[in-house]
Copies of this chain bind each other. A is one copy, B any other.
Amino acid sequence: MRILDAAIASVRQKGYAATRVDEVASCAGVTKGGFFHHFSSKEEMAVAAAMRWSEVTGQLFEAAPYHLPDDPLDRVLAYIDFRRDIIGGQTDEFTCFAGTLAQETHLSAPTIRDAARASIFDHAQTLTADIEAAKSRSCPDADWTADSLALHTQAVLQGAFIIAKADGGPERARESVGHLRRYVELLFGRRPKSSAN
């Protein structure tokens, strides 16, 4: 849906409150009247956009090459490398639509927040199986859960995005993801490879 893609692009650039339905509509090649034929309110659009975001990113990550390694820990590390590698270019090309949405609507629009929450948490969930497998192999008695580590990866990414936005560029954000990689390596007792940070 072109309207949702335009909405996602606008929110990533300017945030939810600052995106104008007029502009979303015209970017999608529709007038405002046409927009309100598809969505009864801006809020409904945001919820739909969050679901579309889940769908689009879901396909992107499903098709990504980080699933190839045989070892589950290697897959987790490959995921982190993949996330680090796609941080680049303009800020609005790599930051997370759902995180941005959650930040602005957490108090004012619970339906939007819930949709954003689902997008983030469901994506984190896709990592837990591999983390759990790696954990039961290398450190079954560790005092942390696969679930919490999976969500932590998302927290680091969301934080890195804010650093990138504040800094005006992706370099420092990538450094943070590098620290996340080293953390996972250390957690599972793998010798960190040297990679300047």
Contacts and interface: CB of A to CB of B under 8 A. Distances in A.
A192 interface: yes
Interface residues of A, number: 57
Interface in A152-179: 152, 154-160, 162-163, 165-168, 172-173, 175-176, 178-179
A148 B196 CA distance: 11
Contacts of A121: 166-167
How many subunits of this chain does the assembly comprise?
2
B168 A106 contact: yes
A194 B143 contact: yes
A182 interface: yes
Interface of A: 13-18, 91-92, 98-100, 102-104, 106-108, 113, 116-117, 120-121, 143-145, 148-149, 151-152, 154-160, 162-163, 165-168, 172-173, 175-176, 178-179, 182-183, 186-187, 192, 194-197
Given A17-B17, A117-B167, A148-B179, 12 more contacts: A14-B104, A91-B106, A99-B162, A106-B166, A113-B165, A144-B179, A144-B197, A148-B176, A156-B156, A159-B162, A182-B187, A186-B186
